[in-house]
Structures are given as C-alpha cells and as structure tokens.
Amino acid sequence: MNTVIREISTTDAGIAGHLAYEAFKSSADAHRFPLDFPSPEAGQEFAGLWINHPSIYGVAAEVAGRFVGSNFLTEQDPIRGVGPITVAPAIQASGIGRKLMEAVIERGKGAPGIRLVQDAFNTISMSLYASLGFEAREPLALMSGRPAGTVPEGITVRRMTDSDLAEAEALCVRVHRFPRTGELKDAVRGLQPFVAIRGGRMVGYASSVPMWQLNHGVAETEGDLCALLTGAGQQLNDPVSFLLPVRQAGLHRWALRSGFRMVKPMTLMTMGEYCEPRGAWFPSVLY
C-alpha cells in the first residue's frame, strides 16, 4: 500500500476530527470503555484547535489521495508530547500507525525527550510504541469524581493567573527538571488551572482540573496535591478528573477514600531523557 505522510492543514480539520471520533470509538467500544471523543463534533472541535495551534505539529496519512489518519506532536515546551494518533478503523493494522509515529519521532529528534500516554488496554498501541523505542514508566488510573473533605488550614486554593507562571515554572522544574510553561500559558487563557498556596508560596498547581486530557499537576507533597484537588473541586461545578500514577499509593488511597472512581487504566511511556519526579505529580494525556 502506497502511504503518503504529509503535514496536516486547516482544511483537514473536518475529516481528521471525524476519524479521531471513529478510531477511538472502535477501540473503546471493543473494550467497553467510555468514549474520549463523545461525538464527531467533539472530535472536530479538538482537531480544529490542535491543527491551528502554532506550536503543535501535525501529520496526515493519505492512501490513494484519501485521508486515512493523523498524528500530532506538541512543541510548546522542551519535552514533546505525542497524540492523539488515529487511523481509520477499516485500514488499521496495515502499517499506517507506524509511519505516523515515525514522522513525529523524526520531527522531535532534537528534543530532550518525547512522551505519550496510551490506553493500557490497547494491545496494538502499547506494542507499537514499545517497538519504536518508548519505555513504559508509570501505570496510571484515570480518576473522576467530586472529592469530599476540606482543605487543611494554612492552605489556600485559588485560580491560577498570568502572574503565577514564573512560580509555577520553578515548581515544575523542581519536580520534573523540565518546564511546561508554554502549556500553562494556554491553560491560563482558556482552561481552569488552580494553585495551592502554603506559607505564602506556591506548593502545587493543576493545569485544567475538570478536563483530564489537558490536566497535569505537580506539588511539593501528596498532602499539597490532595488539598489542591479538594479545593479546586469545591470551586467547580464539574467533576475533577486526573491521571493518577498509582505507584503514589498514598495519593491513590486518598482518591478512593474521597469518592473518586476509576474510569480506565493508562500508561505513561517515554523516549529520551527521563528523571523520576521529586514530589507529587500527575500527567496529562500527553505526559
């Protein structure tokens, strides 16, 4: 099969979003998990945002002139994030996903690292990414709920603003050794990021509390992270959702005690530099 890989363009948003809906639906339905994109329109809205973002690189796959798949690489920050990758269900398992992955790996080869999060039940994607050189780092549990309990005295939880970005960057670097300030700038503009303040300084942040796909967080301690999510949950109408790295056993037990329910298992996979985080944290769907 003659597959052409090319840069994605704005005019592809309709078909790319529709295929993202169909491809993820085929995988979720097969395993009876909820849909990541609940409708074709949700897929198209996402595709429009991602394709038009100045710091997100996208590729399209074509067979005989027909659009059959896409993949993306976020480039706002030093660590690159892959996804979502989609191949039309009728044409999966014929090598197109591998080509789409190779294209973004080539694009990201100058970066210190490339990372992604995959559905742990997806035997195809885990095998594909591992064979390309990605290493499984963390088992994750997607958790969703409205945390019960109260924020401990001495901690304040409030919305993040532009003036928090420098302190948030420093905290992220302390935990992960890499900044994610490009993403945080997007979050402050259109998402619902929160910070936790203790002793007059920032001890935690979460970048998009109700939307797990875009929600990454860091904190000095597990207690700070629990307080942050509890306080944010009290100020929002929507449930809190985040990808809990289950090796943080205390955080896991707290989430279950607080009323969170597990939605599905996922895996953080990385290529290139990786340091064990120093503090409490959770990744977005990118890393």
Cβ at position 5, least distance to ligand COA in Å: 12
Going by the DSSP 8-state scheme, the letter that residue 95 receives in this structure is: S
Near ligand COA by CB under 6 A: residue from 12, 75, 77, 119: 119
Neighbours of 199 (CB within 10 A): 7
Q: For the chain, how long is the longest CA-to-CA vector? A: 63
Near ligand COA by CB under 6 A: residue from 9, 52, 55, 94: 94
Cβ at position 268, least distance to ligand COA in Å: 12
Q: Note whether 129 and 101 are within 8 A (CB).
A: yes
Q: Per-residue x/- mask for ligand COA, residues 4 to 23, rule CB under 6 A?
A: -------------------x
Distance CA 68, CA 3 (A): 9
**Radius of gyration of the chain, Cα coordinates, nearest whole angstrom:** 19
Q: Per-residue x/- mask for ligand COA, residues 49 to 88, rule CB under 6 A?
A: ------------------------------------xxx-
Q: Note whether 202 and 235 are within 8 A (CB).
A: no
Name the strands in the sheet holding 194-198, side by side, starting at the edge strand that comes first in the sequence: 155-159, 194-198, 201-206, 217-219, 280-282
Report which residue's Cβ sits closest to ligand COA: 97
Place of tokens 């742990």: 120
Q: Note whether 216 and 77 are within 8 A (CB).
A: no
Cβ at position 104, least distance to ligand COA in Å: 12
Distance CA 253, CA 95 (A): 41
Cβ at position 118, least distance to ligand COA in Å: 4
Distance CA 188, CA 286 (A): 18
Task: Give the binding-site size for ligand COA (rule: CB under 6 A).
Answer: 22
Near ligand COA by CB under 6 A: residue from 9, 55, 123, 156: 123
Near ligand COA by CB under 6 A: residue from 111, 128, 132, 173: 128
Does 92 interact with ligand COA (rule: CB under 6 A)? yes
Cβ at position 66, least distance to ligand COA in Å: 15
Q: What residue ranges bind ligand COA (CB under 6 A)?
A: 23-24, 27, 85-87, 92-98, 118-119, 122-125, 127-128, 131
